[in-house]
Amino acid sequence: MTFVSIVIPYWGEVSLLQTAVDSVLAQSDERWSLTVIDDCDPSPDAGLLMGGISDPRVRYIRNPVNLGITANFRKAVNVADGPWVTIMGFDDRLLPNYVSTVLAAAGEHPDADIIQPGVEIVDGDGARVMPLVDRVKGVLAPSAKQTSHIQGEDLVASLLRGNWLYWPSLAFRTETIRRYDFRDDLAVIQDLALLVDIAFDSGVLVRTPAPAFVYRRHDSSASQLALYNGVRFSDERRYYHDARDQAREAGWKRAERAARLRPMSRLHALAELPRILRKGNRKAILAALAHIAG
């Protein structure tokens, strides 16, 4: 049976995990499985929460030691037990139509490797918001009024101009994502690197307009913290240089130009610079300035 394997790597606040798990249990389409990977969180709360769920589609795995984000992404792909897999953030939640939306798109587009449903944005308190970064994503993305089918250089160039996808909301064809690996040297933007690798191999992305996922954007997320310690923009600058070379080797001039200019990534660094300056981390300041300058 075709179904979506939802995997949640966990380390953090159990109340958010409960909301995420409840959103899976509340799916209108029952064709799903759920695996929570507890990355050896010091608290036993996640285990207690998951132990109270008797649904046979739900399982709980606790790592004996803390593996970190990259190893947990790999593990999430390996434990997926369905033809489609979603690596969901424990602080995000599904709308009740998530599974039905993904499977409908998969049925209508049998060549799809990645499915991006519509996404709603909330802040740390769960209130609907639309910050600048998400408004920019909306401009970069294909029209939200109809289903979009993108692949090859079109997809690579689009993502390198600015990553408009929401990683935790994406459903991947399991056999596709298992052909690739996450990069240990790109802990914060490894999602973009893997997506571009799939696109370079002519992977097909399908974007559906129906909102089906709620993405939580807050200052304590790993990606936000990486802005203030110098990791984020240092990694981005190095990755875009690699992507430029990869596009040049493929003969994809539009993609090469997008990687060289990286307009939205530079603008992101420029927009975050005042906050980075206020934080006062010299490494972060130098990384942001270097990224803006080229």
Residue in the structure block whose two tokens are 């690596």 = 87
Contact assessment for residue 171 and residue 4, using Cβ atoms and an 8 Å cutoff: yes
Q: 3-state DSSP call for residue 39?
A: coil
Mean pLDDT, the chain, whole residue set: 92
Q: What is the pLDDT of residues 138-175, one digit of tens each?
A: 888 877 677 899 999 999 999 999 999 999 999 999 99
Task: Measure the CA–CA gap between 106 and 100, rounded to whole angstroms.
Answer: 10
pLDDT in tens, 4-62: 999 999 999 999 999 999 999 999 999 999 999 999 999 999 999 999 999 999 999 99
Do 93 and 188 touch, CB atoms closer than 8 A?
A: no
Q: How far apart are CA 202 and CA 196, in angstroms?
A: 10
86 against 188, higher pLDDT: 86
Q: Is 57 buried (19+), middle (13-18) or exposed (0-12) by CB count in 10 A?
A: middle
Residue 40: its H or E element: none
Q: Give the pLDDT of residue 26.
A: 98
Residue located via tokens 């939802």: 6
Q: For the segment 103-140, what is each residue's pLDDT rounded down to a tens digit?
A: 999 999 999 999 999 999 999 888 999 987 888 888 88
Among all chains, which residue has been given the structure tokens 């795995």? 61
User: Percent of the chain, pLDDT > 90?
Assistant: 71
Residue 280 φ/ψ region, left for φ over 0, alpha for ψ in the -120 to 50 degree band, beta for the rest: left
Could you give the 3-state DSSP secondary structure of residue 290? Answer: helix
